Structure 1
Amino acid sequence: MYTIVDIETTGGKYNEEGITEIAIYKFDGHKVVDQFISLVNPEREIQPFVVNLTGINSNMLKNAPKFYEVAKRIVEITENTILVAHNAKFDYRILRTEFKRLGFDYERETLCTVELSKDLIPDQKSYSLGKLVRALGIPVSDRHRAAGDAKATVKLFQLLLDKDTNKNIIQESVRKEPKFQMEPRLIDIVQDLPSETGVYYIHKSDGEIIYIGKSKNIKNRVNQHFTCTNPKSKKIQSLVAAVTFEKTGSELVALLKESEEIKKTKPAFNRALRRNIFTHALYSFTDHKGYINLTIDKAYKDKANITTFSNRQSGKHFLEKAIEDYNLCQKLTGIYKTNTSCFNYELKKCEGACIQQESAEDYNNRVNQLLKKHSYDQQNMVIIDRGRDVDERSAILIKNGIFKGFGFYSLNYQINNLDILESIITPMENNRDQQHIIQSYLRRNKRLKIIQL
C-alpha cells in the first residue's frame, strides 16, 4: 500500500518552513482507496514568491487547522504504507520536521518518483513534475496546489509501476509491508483480489516471486491454485505469503506481460512457459511455375515465417479456413497431395491454379492478401484493446514490423502523437514468442481496432 503525498510550504530557511497545504492519496497500486486534503495554518509568514506560485496567502489560512490538529489523521492514513512523492526527500523532511516540533518521531519508508522516472523513463528533457507529466500526456489541474500535484503524481506512479517490468517496486513493497504477511487462511489473500483480467504474482514472505500467471478472472484463477491438490499447487500453498496483481483489461496485454516476465524473473514454478510457446509456422515459397505455395512446418529460429501456431493441427485449421476465405488451391497449400488437380477443382471451388488454368498473377494476388493480413512485417501500427477502466484503452505498438511494447491511455491526443505514445509505452522485447502471441490474438479477435501509423 502506498500514500502519494504533496506538500506546499511557506518557503524560507531550511527546516524553518511550515506546511500551508497537504494532499495525501492512499493508493493500492490500482486505485485510490482513501484521501486527505487540507489547508494548514503554518503560524508563520508565507514568502511572497510562494504566494505568487501557489496562490495560497495568509488570509486563506486564518481559519485553517494547525498542524497538530491534522497530525493524527496524517499518521493514520500513512500507517503501514510506503510514502511516495515527487522529490520525496523534500516532502518527507517537511513532515518529519513538523512532527518533531510536536515531539513525535515520524518514520516511513519512501519512494521518489523523480528517481524512479530517471530510471524507468530515461532521456526526458526535464524531470520536474509539470514538464514530465505534460511530456507523458498525463492531465494535471491546479498546478502548484497540493491536490492537483498529488493527483498527477498518482497517475505518474501508476505509469512507473507499469514500466517496472522487473517488478522491483512491487517486490520491495511486499518485503516492507507487514499486512502482506501470511494470513492463517488462504482465503484472506484471495478475498482482496479482483475478478478481472490481468497478471498475478505469487510471492514468498521475502518478496520473491515464485509464480506468475494471467487470467480473465484473477480471483478465480488464484482460488484454483489454493484449492488444487496436485504436488505443485500444494507446494505453492505452503510458500505463499502474498499475491499481487496488475489489471490489464486486455487479455493480449496480459499474455504479453506474462510471457516476458516469466522469461525475465524465471519463477520457480513457471518452468513450462520459459520455453517457446509455438511449435509450428506458416511458410511460403514460389514454385518453378511462379505460383506462391503455402505450407505448415516446424518453427525454425533461423527461418523467416509468416505466422506461428501452438501445434500442427492449429496451423492446418488456419490453412483450411484460408482456402475457404481466399479461394485458394488445396494442392498449393499442401492440404491435398496430388499430381493433377485438387479435389476443390472438381467441386468448382478452385480456379485451377493447381493445373495452371488460373494465371499465377491472379492466384498470387489472393495469396498476398492473406499474407499481408497475417504478417505485420515492416508495418507501423497500433492495436487498440480494452483498458483497465471504462474510460481507458490499451495500445500495443508495432514499429517497422517490430513489437515495441504496450501502454494505457485515456486521451485521444496521446495515441495520435507518436512522441507521446512512445513515452507512455512500456518497452518489451520483440521475440518470436511475443510475435506469436500477437498474431494468434489477432486471428482470434477480428474486431480489434487497428490504427495504421
Structure 2
Amino acid sequence: MYAILDIETTGGKFNEEGITEIAIHKYDGHTVVDQFITLVNPERNIQPFVVKLTGINNNMLKNAPKFYEVAKRIIEITKDCIIVAHNSEFDYRILRTEFNRLGYDYKRNTLCTVELSKDLIPDQPSYSLGKLVRSLGIPVTDRHRANGDALATVKLFKLLQTKDTTKQIIQSSIKEGHNPKKLDRKLIDIVEELPAITGVYYMHKEGGDIIYIGKSRNIKRRVNQHFTAPNSKSKKIQLHVTAVTYEETGSELVALLKENEEIKRLKPIYNRARKRTHYTHALYAFKDKNGYINLKIDVADGRKKSITTFSNKQSAHHFIEHNVEAYNLCLQLTGLSTVNAEKPCFNYGLRTCHGACITEESPEEYNLRVQELIEKNSYAHKNMIIVDRGREIEERSAIYIKDGQFEGLGFFNLNYQINNIKVLESIITKMENNRDSQHIIQSYLRSHKKLKIIQLPA
C-alpha cells in the first residue's frame, strides 16, 4: 500500500518551514482507495515567492485547521503505507518536522519518484515534476498546488510501475523510515544565506575554486537538494563545499545560457557529466525527386545542418506529430509512415493531408506550409531580440540573435535601448555561439510561446 502525497510549505529557513497544504492519495497498486486534501494553518507567514508560486496566501489559511488538528488523519491514512512523493526527501522531512513539534516520532518507509524516473525513464531533459509529466504526456492541473501535484505523481507512479517490468527496481528503491539526513551546521548556514530566486549558483571549495555550477528557478531550494541528496556526487559536494555564490538572472533562459557558458569555460570537477551534448536528436529537411520538402527526425549529427534540435527522441517525435496536425502535412513526407510510396498516407483518408504523398497537391503549395514551419522553428539568418524577465520588476532581459547567431545577452529598463542597434550592442555581454546554446534557445522558444520577440532589420 502506498500513500502518494504532495506538500506545499511556507518556505523559509531550513527545518523552520510550515505546511500550508497537503494532499494524500492512498493507492493499493491499482487504484486510489482513499484520499485526504486540506489547507493547513502554518501559524507563521508565507514567504512572498511562495505566494507567487502557489497562489496560497496568509488570508486563505486563517480559518484552515492547524497541523495538530489533522495529524491524526495523516497518521491513519498513511498507516502501513510507503510514502511516495516527487523528491520524497523534502516531503518526508517536512512531515517529520511537524510531528516532532507535537512530540510524535513519525516514521514511514519512502519512495522517491525523481530517483525512480531517473532509473526507469533515463535521458529526460528535466526531472522536475512539471516538465517530466509534460514530456511523458501526463495531464497536470493546478501545478504547485498540493492536490494537482499529488494527482500528477499518482499518474507518474502508475507509469513507473509499468516500466518496472522486473518488479524489482521499485522494491529495491524503498528507503526504510528513519531520521532524514541532518545537515552539518556549515551546510545549514550556507542554505540560510541563499535567496529563493532564479539564477546561476557556484559552489566553492576551500580556497575559492569552483567545484560545481548549476542553475535554478529557486536557488535556495536547489542547493538544499544538493545538500540532502544521498547520491555519490552530492555526497562529494557536501564534503568539499565551503561557500555558494550566485548571480541572479530573473529569466530561466538567461540562467540556462549562463550556466552552459560557465561550465564550458570553468570546467568544474563535478560538472563533468555535462560534457555530453544537451540534445540527442534533430529535425532535418531535404527535397525528394518530386520537389517536395521532406522532414526527418534523426540522431543529431553536428556535420549536418539541422532546423532545430531535441533533448530526446520522444520529444522530437511529439514535435513532428503536433506539427503534422497543425500544418496539414503528409505522414509519408515527415517520416511518420512507411506505407508504399504509391499509396496515400492514412491522413489523406481523413482529409488532413491534401495528397502530397500521391502528388495530388503541388510541391509549391505543400512546400509553403513546410517553409512556414521551418521559419517558425529556426532563427537561421534572422536578426532578433528575445525579451524575457529581468532581475527587477521594471527590468527586462534581452537575448540578441544576429544573422542567425547567438551574440550574447544583457538587461535593459527602457525600450529605446533595444530599438537602437548601437545602444543594444553596447549593453549586450558577448557570449559564445555553439550548438548547445542554439539548442537551449530553440527549446526554450518552443516551450514558451508567449515570449516577446522583436524582429530587427537585416
TM-score interval, smaller chain? 0.5 to 0.7
For residues 221 and 319 of structure 2, the distance between their equivalents in structure 1, rounded to whole angstroms, comes to: 31
Classify the secondary structure of the residue corresponding to 1:395. strand
1:435 aligns with 2:454: no
Secondary structure at the counterpart of residue 241 of structure 1: strand
Q: Describe the SS at the equivalent of 1:252.
A: helix
Q: Spell out the pairing of 1:365-384 with structure 2 (5 A cutoff).
A: 365-384=368-387
Q: How does 1:71-82 map to 2 (within 5 A)?
A: none
Matched AA of 1:321: H
Task: State the superposition RMSD in angstroms.
Answer: 1.0
Secondary structure at 2:277's aligned position in 1? coil
Amino acid at match of 1:342: C
- TM-score, normalising length from structure 1? 0.59
Residue of structure 1 equivalent to 2:282: 281
Q: In 2, distance between residues paired with 1:274 and 1:392?
A: 33
Give deviations 1:326-354, integer Å, cap 9, x for gaps: 11111100001111111111112111111
Q: Does 1:420 align with 2:423?
A: yes
**Alignment-mate amino acid for residue 285 of structure 1:** F
CA contact (8 A) 1:394 1:406 kept: yes
Contact 1:331 1:338 (C-alpha < 8 Å) held by counterparts: yes
Q: Deviations over 1:93-138 (max 9, x none)?
A: xxxxxxxxxxxxxxxxxxxxxxxxxxxxxxxxxxxxxxxxxxxxxx
Matched, 1:324 2:353: no
Moved over 6 A (4+): none
Aligned to 2:123: none
Match of 1:352 in 2: 355
Encode CA deviations 1:245-272: one digit per residue, 9 max, x unaligned. 1111111111111111111110010012
User: Which structure 1 segments of 5+ residues have no match?
Assistant: 1-182
Distance in 1, matches of 2:426 and 2:238, equals 39
Give the equivalent residue in structure 2 for 1:217: 218
Q: 1:407 aligns with which of 401, 405, 410?
A: 410
Partner-residue secondary structure (3-state), 1:185: helix
Give yes or no for contact 1:190–1:219 (8 Å, CA) kept in 2.
yes
How far apart, CA to CA, are the structure 1 residues paired with 2:288 and 2:416? Answer: 47
In the alignment, the residues of structure 1 paired with residue 222 and residue 316 of structure 2 have an alpha-carbon distance, to the nearest angstrom, of 29
Aligned length: 271
Distance in 2 (alpha carbons) for counterparts of 1:436 and 1:284: 17
Which residue matches 2:262?
A: 261
Residues 50-449 of structure 1: pairs in structure 2 closer than 5 A: 184-339=185-340, 340-449=343-452
Superposed CA deviations along residues 23-74 of structure 1, whole A, max 9, x for unmatched, are xxxxxxxxxxxxxxxxxxxxxxxxxxxxxxxxxxxxxxxxxxxxxxxxxxxx
Q: Is the 8 A contact 2:186 2:242 kept in 1?
A: no
Could you give the per-residue CA deviations for residues 262-321 of structure 1, whole angstroms, max 9, x where no partner exists? 111100100121221111110000000010000001111111010001111111111001
In 1, the alpha carbon distance for the partners of 2:422 and 2:235 equals: 48
Give the residue type in structure 2 aligned to 1:303: K
Specify the SS of the correspondent of 2:374: helix
Q: Could you report, residue by residue, the CA deviation over 1:6-33 in whole angstroms, capped at 9, with x for unpaired residues?
A: xxxxxxxxxxxxxxxxxxxxxxxxxxxx
Alignment-mate amino acid for residue 186 of structure 1: L
CA distance in 1, matches of 2:273, 2:234: 15
Aligned residues of 1:259 and 1:273 also touching (Cα < 8 A): no
Give the alignment's TM-score, normalised by structure 2.
0.58
- Structure of higher CA gyration radius: 1
Give the drift of 1:229: 1.6
Q: Which amino acid aligns with 2:248?
A: K
**1:288 aligned counterpart, secondary structure:** coil
Once the two structures are superposed, residues 175-227 of structure 1 have per-residue CA deviations (whole angstroms, 9 ceiling, x without a partner) of xxxxxxxx943111111111111110000121110000011110000000111
Alpha-carbon distance in structure 2 between the residues aligned to 1:185 and 1:264: 28
Distance 2:232 2:354 in 1: 56
Alpha-carbon separation, structure 2, partners of 1:355 and 1:448 = 39
The amino acid that maps onto 1:370 is: L
| 1:409-449: CA deviation from partner (whole Å, max 9, x where unpaired) | 11112111111111111111100000000000000000000
SS at match of 2:366: helix
Aligned to 1:134: none
The letter for the 2-side match of 1:299 is A
Correspondence for 2:33 = none
CA contact (8 A) 2:355 2:361 kept: yes
Q: State the match for 1:147 in structure 2.
A: none
Q: Deviations over 1:152-183 (max 9, x none)?
A: xxxxxxxxxxxxxxxxxxxxxxxxxxxxxxx9
Counterpart contact for 1:383–1:395, Cα < 8 Å: yes
SS at the partner of 1:337?
coil
Match for 2:279: what amino acid? F
Q: Name stretches of at least 5 consecutive residues in structure 2 with no aligned partner.
A: 1-183
AA of the residue aligned to 2:350:
L
Q: % of aligned pairs identical?
A: 65
State the distance in 2 between where 1:223 and 1:211 align.
Answer: 14
The structural deviation recorded for 1:371 is 0.4
Q: CA offset at residue 395 of structure 1?
A: 0.1
Give the whole-Å Cα distance in 1 for the aligned partners of 2:191 and 2:429.
Answer: 28
Distance in 1 of aligned mates of 2:220 and 2:320: 37
Instruction: Please give the alpha-carbon distance, in whole angstroms, between the structure 1 residues aligned to 2:234 and 2:378.
Output: 38
Aligned-partner residue type, residue 247 of structure 2: E
Letter in 1 for 2:313: R
Task: Write out per-residue CA displacement over residues 387-418 of structure 1, whole angstroms, 9 at most, x where no aligned residue.
Answer: 01101000000001100011011111211111
User: Which whole-Å CA distance do the structure 1 matches of 2:202 and 2:439 have between them?
Assistant: 23
Secondary structure in structure 1 of the residue aligned to 2:364: helix
Q: Work out whether residues 306 and 374 of structure 1, in 8 Å CA contact, stay in contact via their aligned partners in 2.
A: yes
